[in-house]
């Protein structure tokens, strides 16, 4: 098996095996207002990741060795392989970061110069087209360099894993036997104990989570801060209420007197009853 | 001689209750049918997407119901009640942010699930109907995102809806009717909010539950497709029941997605913009992130003008969806290995790259607008 393939086959499941456990830690840190990507949070997460990665790497590498290479690796491979991989990655990944960053900066300036030249000498490119064109122009070489360097990284990881292949013992038996063997790696001896421990840990973590998270929003927006505008209830002063009621009654009395003067007999106009009934059925209008 | 009854063999209360229910509804048969489904080639992480989608949907329903306890679907109170949820209700900010990011997670998972089915060649005979129902579910998930976006009634919500309805309006024959039906007036207002709310909390969940049920029924009927590579001996050796390994993988995948959504709710909680007004002011209208690629595509000169807009907003996406629906009937080759289907692989990569490039372009475009 090629180094790149072996590196990828071990790295991919290792990442996903450790990921959920690390996520639990990251979420608890977030709930406690500690950013897991800076300062103490990052240090805590990295420190906790070490035993998780050693365990996940040992489990996943052993599975790949058994299933794909049909060899039984030596005991304690997880720790030793992790140490090799960590040492290599500490040197390689910063180089990858700076190399990709450098290529990106170079490609961006070359793209800007090219676009500027085209616009000066040939035609004006509309803004939406220009954005996509620029993105593709600097993104393509950057992505190619990134892929090549990741390929190199996987090659290195695979080459380090190959050291363990050489000292592993071949496994006899059918494919079914081998599957059964690596499957047993994942099944605990005392299953009810593991399930109880998992459930217990889950319950504790749920309580810790709800105990830590803020009740109200931890991020009030600086531009759109909530202003709780409470409607001011008008003060009720009994004297004023009586006074205004008296005024209303006085106006009503004056209106009635005026109406009596205009129509002293209180007669209704022609069709008055029908008209009055019609008026009465109408909904009140403001 | 000991005549005392053997208490160890006596069923306890729980077992008695289970037996009682089992006698009437066939619980144990149902359980055996659900859990003892053979998974050809054994359990895989790649098969977890469907279960994760169902899990996210259930949590969206739960958080949605909790939000409805406080949300008022009227133009007078939608914004204020959402602000109230964020700032006053205990843990309301977290519930709303979870619901918001959950909708994005559903879209991502639908993309992942559809990609997995496509790359695995699992849409081929005899699974054509599962694929078709899956496409309809994809449409419903998008509709969920679109209708839910308006509900907070802030500038972002209002203008995303204006843009979306304008795009819909360009559909021939039914476009005008659909736009008028959704808006309920010349501009988005109370009628729009009421209709979007009803569609979001009643019509779409009912449709999704019915179609998801049908999807699962068809899936169980046809059985899992299994891996696209490996000798029959290997596949048979690894074949396993759905319980416990696939269930375990599903649970771990669900827990991971749950943790990611929770983390996003913390890192980027929902923050409202100003209350919706028919004047955009300084705000540049923009749809949800998963529609950004289409929005950016429509900014290209080639898609300018009435016909261009129709072409970019309706004709091309419509033709693409029609192509996806027809795919199992066009691609009749039994070959499922993606590395032996170069056209399918290149096509998938090209589409994913296109979506990525135009989404990033739309994000860069914001700087120019600002």
A36 phi/psi in degrees, rounded to 5:
-75, 0
CA dihedral angle for residue A232, residue A238, residue A242, residue A244, rounded to 10 degrees: -20
Residue B297 · residue B312 · CB < 8 Å: yes
Whether residue A269 is contained in a domain is answered as no
Residue A14 · residue A170 · CB < 8 Å: no
- Partner-chain contact A221 B271, CB within 8 Å: yes
What integer is the mean pLDDT of A103-119?
96
Q: Is the pLDDT of residue A193 over 60?
A: yes
Q: CATH no. for residue B197?
A: 1.20.810.10
Q: How far apart are CA B348 and CA B342, in angstroms?
A: 10
Whether residue A193 is contained in a domain is answered as yes
Whether residue B238 is contained in a domain is answered as yes
Q: Say what the pLDDT of residue A282 is.
A: 45
HSE (side-chain half, CA atoms, 13 Å) at B331: 24
Q: Is the pLDDT of residue A29 over 70?
A: yes
Q: What are the tokens at B136?
A: 């309809």
Which of left, alpha, beta for A80 (phi over 0: left; psi -120 to 50: alpha)? Answer: alpha
Q: Say what the pLDDT of residue B318 is.
A: 93
Non-local (6+) Cβ contacts of A262 within 8 A are none
- Integer-rounded Cα radius of gyration of chain B: 24
Q: Say what the pLDDT of residue A19 is.
A: 93
Q: Say what the pLDDT of residue A281 is.
A: 44
Q: What are the chain B neighbours of A135 within 8 Å (beta carbons)? A: 357, 360-361, 364
Q: Which of B41, B76, B85, B94 to mutate to probe the A interface, most A CBs <10 Å?
A: B94
Cis status, amide bond into B251, omega within 30 of 0: no
Q: Is B26 helix (H, G, I), strand (E, B) or coil?
A: coil
If residue B109 lies in a helix (H) or strand (E), which one and from where to where? helix B92-119
Q: Is residue B269 less than 8 Å (CB to CB) from chain A?
A: yes
Q: What are the chain B neighbours of A26 within 8 Å (beta carbons)? A: 259, 263
Whether residue B275 is contained in a domain is answered as yes
Quote the number of domains for chain A: 1
Domain of residue A17 covers 3-212
Q: What are the chain A neighbours of B267 within 8 Å (beta carbons)? A: 30
Q: Which of B43, B262, B369 to mutate to probe the A interface, most A CBs <10 Å?
A: B262
Whether residue A147 is contained in a domain is answered as yes
pTM of the model: 0.83
Q: Say what the pLDDT of residue A269 is.
A: 55
- Partner-chain contact B252 A132, CB within 8 Å: no
Whether residue A243 is contained in a domain is answered as no
Angle between helix B78-87 and helix B92-119 axes, rounded to 10 deg: 100
Which of A16, A129, A216 is opposite residue B87, by nearest beta carbon?
A216
Write out residues in chain B with pLDDT < 70, as ranges.
1-8, 370
Q: What are the chain B neighbours of A131 within 8 Å (beta carbons)? A: 361, 364-365, 368
Domain of residue B173 covers 42-291
Q: Say what the pLDDT of residue B368 is.
A: 82
Whether residue A187 is contained in a domain is answered as yes
Q: Please give the distance of CA B27 from its chain centroid, rounded to a whole number.
A: 30
Q: How far apart are CA B218 and CA A279, in angstroms?
A: 66
Q: Please give the distance of CA A277 from its chain centroid, rounded to a whole number.
A: 67
B152 phi/psi in degrees, rounded to 5:
-65, -15
Non-local (6+) Cβ contacts of A13 within 8 A are A56, A60, A63, A64
Q: Say what the pLDDT of residue A188 is.
A: 76
Span A54-104, pLDDT tens digits = 999 999 999 899 888 989 898 889 999 999 999 999 999 999 999 999 999
Distance from CA of A185 to the nearest CA of B (A): 13
Q: Say what the pLDDT of residue A95 is.
A: 97
Whether residue B349 is contained in a domain is answered as no
Searching chain B, which residue's CA lies closest to the CA of residue A25?
Answer: B259
Q: Say what the pLDDT of residue B187 is.
A: 83
Q: Say what the pLDDT of residue A190 is.
A: 82
Quote the number of domains for chain B: 1
Q: How far apart are CA B52 and CA B250, in angstroms?
A: 7
Q: Say what the pLDDT of residue A231 is.
A: 61
Q: Is residue B153 less than 8 Å (CB to CB) from chain A?
A: no
Q: Say what the pLDDT of residue A284 is.
A: 43
If residue B231 lies in a helix (H) or strand (E), which one and from where to where? none
What integer is the mean pLDDT of A259-285?
58
Look up the ipTM and state it.
Answer: 0.83
């Amino acid at each position: 098996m090629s180094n790149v393939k072996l590196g990828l086959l071990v790295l991919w499941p290792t990442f996903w095996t450790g990921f959920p456990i690390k996520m639990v830690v990251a979420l608890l840190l977030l709930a406690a207002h500690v950013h897991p990507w800076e300062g103490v949070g990052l240090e805590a997460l990295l420190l906790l990741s070490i035993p998780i990665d050693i365990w996940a790497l040992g489990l996943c590498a052993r599975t790949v060795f058994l299933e794909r290479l049909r060899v039984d690796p030596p005991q304690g491979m997880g720790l030793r392989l992790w140490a090799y991989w960590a040492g290599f990655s500490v040197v390689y990944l910063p180089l990858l970061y700076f190399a990709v960053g450098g290529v990106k900066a170079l490609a961006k300036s070359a793209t800007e110069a090219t676009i500027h030249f085209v616009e000066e000498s040939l035609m004006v490119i509309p803004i939406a087209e220009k954005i996509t064109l620029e993105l593709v122009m600097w993104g393509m070489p950057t992505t190619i360099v990134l892929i090549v360097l990741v390929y190199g990284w996987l090659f290195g990881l695979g080459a380090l894993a190959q050291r363990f292949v050489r000292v592993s013992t071949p496994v006899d038996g059918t494919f079914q036997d081998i599957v059964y063997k690596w499957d047993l790696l994942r099944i605990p001896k005392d299953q009810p104990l593991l399930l109880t421990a998992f459930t217990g840990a889950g319950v504790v973590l749920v309580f810790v989570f709800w105990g830590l998270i803020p009740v109200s929003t931890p991020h009030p927006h600086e531009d759109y801060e909530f202003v709780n505008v409470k409607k001011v209830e008008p003060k009720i002063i009994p004297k004023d209420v009586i006074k205004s009621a008296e005024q209303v009654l006085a106006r009503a009395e004056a209106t009635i007197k005026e109406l009596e003067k205009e129509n002293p007999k209180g007669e209704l106009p022609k069709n008055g009853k029908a008209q009055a009934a019609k008026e009465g059925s109408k909904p009140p209008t403001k | 001689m000991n005549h005392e009854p053997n208490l160890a063999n006596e069923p306890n209360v729980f077992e008695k209750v289970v037996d009682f229910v089992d006698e009437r509804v066939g619980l144990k048969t149902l359980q055996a049918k659900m859990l003892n489904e053979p998974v050809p080639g054994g359990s895989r992480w790649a098969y977890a997407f469907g279960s994760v989608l169902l899990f996210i949907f259930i949590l969206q329903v739960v958080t949605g119901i909790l939000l409805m306890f406080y949300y008022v679907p009227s133009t007078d109170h939608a914004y204020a009640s959402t602000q109230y949820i964020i700032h006053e209700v205990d843990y309301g900010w977290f519930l709303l942010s979870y619901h918001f990011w959950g909708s994005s997670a559903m879209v991502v998972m639908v993309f992942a699930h559809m990609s997995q089915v496509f790359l695995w060649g699992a849409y081929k005979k005899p699974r054509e109907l599962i694929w078709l129902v899956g496409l309809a579910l994809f449409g419903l998930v998008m509709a969920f995102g679109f209708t839910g976006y308006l509900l907070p009634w802030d500038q972002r919500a209002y203008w995303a809806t204006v843009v979306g309805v304008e795009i819909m309006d360009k559909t021939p024959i039914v476009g005008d009717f659909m736009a008028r039906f959704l808006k309920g007036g010349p501009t988005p207002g109370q009628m729009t909010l009421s209709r979007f709310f009803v569609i979001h909390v009643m019509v779409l969940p009912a449709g999704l539950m019915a179609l998801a049920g049908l999807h699962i029924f068809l899936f169980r009927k046809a059985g899992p497709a299994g891996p696209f590579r490996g000798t029959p001996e290997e596949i048979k050796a690894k074949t396993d029941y759905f319980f416990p390994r696939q269930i375990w993988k599903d649970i771990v995948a669900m827990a991971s997605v749950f943790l990611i959504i929770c983390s996003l709710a913390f890192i980027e909680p929902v923050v409202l913009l100003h209350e919706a007004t028919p004047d955009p002011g300084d705000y540049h209208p923009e749809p949800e992130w998963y529609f950004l690629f289409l929005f950016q595509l429509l900014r290209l000169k080639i898609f300018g003008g009435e016909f261009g807009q129709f072409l970019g907003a309706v004709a091309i996406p419509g033709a693409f969806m029609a192509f996806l629906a027809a795919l199992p009937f066009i691609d009749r080759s039994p070959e499922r290995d993606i590395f032996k289907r170069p056209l399918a692989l290149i096509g998938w990569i090209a589409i994913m790259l296109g979506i990525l490039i135009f989404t990033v372009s739309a994000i860069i475009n914001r700087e120019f607008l600002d």
